Structure 1
Amino acid sequence: MVLRNQYLDRLIRLRDKEIIKVVTGVRRCGKSTLLKQFERYLLENGVVEEQIISINFEDISFDYLLEYHALHQYITERLLDDRKTYIFLDEIQAVSDFQKAVDSLFLKDNVDIYITGSNAHMLSGELATLLSGRYVEVPMLPLSFSEYAELVGGDVRSAWKKYFTSGGFPYASQIEDEEIRRDYLYGIYHTVLLKDVAARRRINDIELLESIVKFLFDNVGNIVSSKKIADSLTSFGRKTTSLTVENYVTALCEAFILYKVGRYDVQGKQHLKSLEKYYIVDVGLRNLLIGNRNRDIGHILENIVYLELTRKGYHVSVGKLGELEIDFVAEKDGEKAYFQVAATVLSEETFAREIAPLKRIHDNYPKYIVTMDEIPMDEDGIKVINVVDFLTK
């Protein structure tokens, strides 16, 4: 087990604050393990077991608590009068109207509430209304490359090759047998698709849903639209509409299997509302469904860099500069950084193409080209950085 320090430190900073902590992320990204790590931290720092109420709603032992009145009563009966009670509710979206129980518990003295969920829909509607201004989201992703390398050990470059193809789902990274690992990843994929997308959105056409998933997985890093997806599927005999595609894609984003990235006009300094890119929560899932293809190396690399920037707290957009495109404009705390991503820039033609948009940006924010090359080729203050160095610094 590797400590998820980025997220653990966040929970430690939020401890005892009068706010509900909501950890979100795709299934099997490590949310349950994070709660266990935080519980261990509490027990090592003066908290006793009687102060902790921990319920994982994927455990059928707690099926009788899937109704919010029963859940509220169960927890209320176990609250301590003279000390803080730490409440951990894992995969809370399984409880009908859970927000009513959480809201009522939050009103009580001496409670500190932590919940996890595998669907962003839980943060909309009644939850947002009832708990407006009283919760903070802690978005979680599968393992970063640094975490992965720490977990698997050995040579960092060998770890990178495995990470590039197998992704960062924590348990999958410990499975050596390739067939078993594929079966495990298929299990995650189908569970997310059926439980967190189809069941929640009452989608009956699973075949169409999978066709949309495969289209987007195959077009990582390409600008797409609902119309483009619908037209493409229709041309292959899978007739559908832009509205249906839009609804299905929204559901996939809510389940944290896809991340939507909008465009930013660098010259006009404004976010654009049309045409976007989508990135996958973990490249292992893409390789599982689409396969490993040499022509896709740049897009897979781009996906990994996007996830890393997101982990580091950046708001990420696709940059538009006239007719040119910048892979990522990353913003945080009022500062910006610009990133181009390419498998290699060793040829003069490729290097010139990748660096051209960055040279046209006349501000003092840092500019990078992230590549798999080992040879530094900095120019005009624009740094060319190896992807492993970028991911581990």
Structure 2
Amino acid sequence: MIKRTKYLNQLIALKNNGFPKVITGPRRTGKSYLLHEIFTDYLIENNIPEENIILIELDDDKNAHLRNPIELGKYVRSITKDKSDCYVILDEIQRVFTIVNPALTGGKIKLAKAKDTETISFVDVVLGLSHEKNIDLYITGSNSKMLSTDIVTEFRDKASQIHMHPLSFEEFYSYRQGSKTDALYEYMQYGGMPLAVLSDENSKKQYLKGLFETTYFKDIVEHNKLKKTENLDELCTILSDLTGELLNSKKLSNTFKSVKHENIDAQTIEKYIQYFKDAFILQEANRYDIRGKKEIGALRKYYFVDTGLRNARLNFAYPDEGQLLENIVYNELIYNGYAVNVGTFDTVEKNKEGKSVRKTNEIDFFAQKNERKYYIQISTDISNSETRSREIRPFIKLNDQIQKILVVNRPYKAMMDEEGFITIGASEFLLNFIK
């Protein structure tokens, strides 16, 4: 079993809080497994009778009648009646269809249409069941609606959300063991999707490519009712290739034109990127003016929620080590609860002609978590003194009290130089430093 301790602890903390727990996240990150196996085992180990743990898999044909929201509500109440502390797990909740309120149809069940306003959906059932004092409710699903950020809006402040990610490097390494360096290279290449981690190398590649093509794209197309997908597909490949670069919709539009020799306007680019973000495939880092203390401009960086998925889009061809390490560091900072931006600040310097010019400087990440603040630069190697000097140049120009860290893809233990800058190996940084 691959332990998902972080998410189990979140479930434990939210247990019996009076709200339904909605488990969201990308496809195949183990949402059902978290509830069916890990959380259920925890409940049993803590003396909850098995008959008080009720799992209803709504994609099972024997439960087809429970896809009627009225019937689902009745059934759950009937089997929990006269029991105390029931833990109810509704899996594939999106299979519950939306109906017109039977009070308006003479008691007949009528599927709702988009224009209907007086309806009953799975949201109504979930909220209704959560009001029962003896029911602690947990739900998950796997279609486009449950994967989208829309689900958070549906419940507003009436549910507790647990958002799952693919395996972090710590979770991956706790399962894989062995050389940390080898583990990190494998993680860079194939990421942390649980079923990929459990497969051999050839199976990993086929699984990840198939997952993206037949599942993620299908969800986006279905959710957004797209008729043509060629431009969406090509944009995803371009974003894969430009992972970690400062981009805006205009630059992407120009890149699209040079690659495909077709025009796609900036507004459409923005819309497509939002689709990827809503489906939890892409995450973005905005620029932050370190001295002005505010987010600025339209330029931003995009990172994939999983490097294996990113590499699958490029058919695992010649992965850029620097891009992948930067993507992983971003994901791990987010996983560990940091707010992460691209750091930027201006300086006035002399050019070759001796004139004063304004120059914009960039730091890979400005990460904040409570009282902890870090400037972070990512480098694949600093054995060349010129490379190291280039990486720490922004640190020197800032000259403030925030901790400055250079993360390198080599097995370094944390070392502080005479200027107070920390140089640390990537695996050490990911497994220990940012915890």
TM-score normalised per structure 1: 0.92
Correspondences of 1:1-393 after superposition (within 5 Å): 1-35=1-35, 36-96=37-97, 97-117=121-141, 118-128=146-156, 132=157, 134-176=158-200, 178-235=201-258, 236-292=260-316, 296-322=320-346, 323-375=360-412, 378-379=416-417, 380-393=419-432
User: Is contact 1:233–1:239 with CA below 8 Å preserved after alignment?
Assistant: yes
Q: Deviations over 1:138-185 (max 9, x none)?
A: 221111122112222333332222212111111111111x33222211
CA distance in 2, matches of 1:359, 1:81: 68
Residue identity in the other structure for 2:82: D
Q: Secondary structure at the match of 1:360?
A: helix
CA distance in 2, matches of 1:19, 1:365: 39
Deviation at 1:68, TM superposition (A): 2.8
Identify which range, 222-231 or 167-176, moves more after superposition.
Answer: 222-231
User: Is contact 2:412–2:428 with CA below 8 Å preserved after alignment?
Assistant: no
User: Is contact 1:84–1:111 with CA below 8 Å preserved after alignment?
Assistant: yes
Change (3 A) 1:99 1:352: same
Q: Secondary structure at the match of 1:353?
A: helix
Unaligned runs of 5+ in 2: 98-120, 347-359
CA distance in 1, matches of 2:137, 2:194: 25
Q: Deviations over 1:254-310 (max 9, x none)?
A: 111111211111000112252211100111112222145657211110000011101
Deviation at 1:216, TM superposition (A): 0.8
Q: Secondary structure at the match of 1:77?
A: helix
Deviation at 1:384, TM superposition (A): 0.8
Q: Secondary structure at the match of 1:246?
A: helix
User: Is contact 1:355–1:369 with CA below 8 Å preserved after alignment?
Assistant: yes
Deviation at 1:41, TM superposition (A): 0.2
- Which residue in the other structure is 2:118 paired with? none
Change (3 A) 1:356 1:5: same
Q: Secondary structure at the match of 2:410?
A: coil
Residue identity in the other structure for 2:54: I
Q: Secondary structure at the match of 1:9?
A: helix
CA distance in 2, matches of 1:321, 1:61: 61
CA distance in 2, matches of 1:62, 1:263: 49
Q: Deviations over 1:94-139 (max 9, x none)?
A: 44432111111122212212223452333344332xxx2x322222
Deviation at 1:12, TM superposition (A): 1.1
Identify which range, 78-87 or 303-312, moves more after superposition.
Answer: 78-87
Identify which range, 325-334 or 71-80, moves more after superposition.
Answer: 71-80
Deviation at 1:340, TM superposition (A): 0.9
Deviation at 1:23, TM superposition (A): 2.0
Q: Secondary structure at the match of 1:305?
A: helix
Q: Secondary structure at the match of 1:171?
A: helix
Corresponding residue pairs, total: 388
CA distance in 2, matches of 1:62, 1:226: 46
User: Is contact 2:311–2:319 with CA below 8 Å preserved after alignment?
Assistant: no
Q: Secondary structure at the match of 2:292?
A: coil
Change (3 A) 1:13 1:291: same
User: Is contact 1:51–1:80 with CA below 8 Å preserved after alignment?
Assistant: no
CA distance in 2, matches of 1:191, 1:67: 28
Q: Deviations over 1:186-236 (max 9, x none)?
A: 232124433421101111222111111111111110111222222322332
* Percent pairwise identity: 36
- Point out the structure with max Rg over C-alpha: 2
Q: Deviations over 1:369-391 (max 9, x none)?
A: 11113356633111111011112
CA distance in 2, matches of 1:67, 1:122: 22
Unaligned runs of 5+ in 1: none
TM-score normalised per structure 2: 0.83
Q: Deviations over 1:56-82 (max 9, x none)?
A: 445455444334333323322222334
CA distance in 1, matches of 2:70, 2:25: 26
Change (3 A) 1:51 1:225: same
Identify which range, 85-94 or 274-283, moves more after superposition.
Answer: 85-94
CA distance in 2, matches of 1:47, 1:185: 38
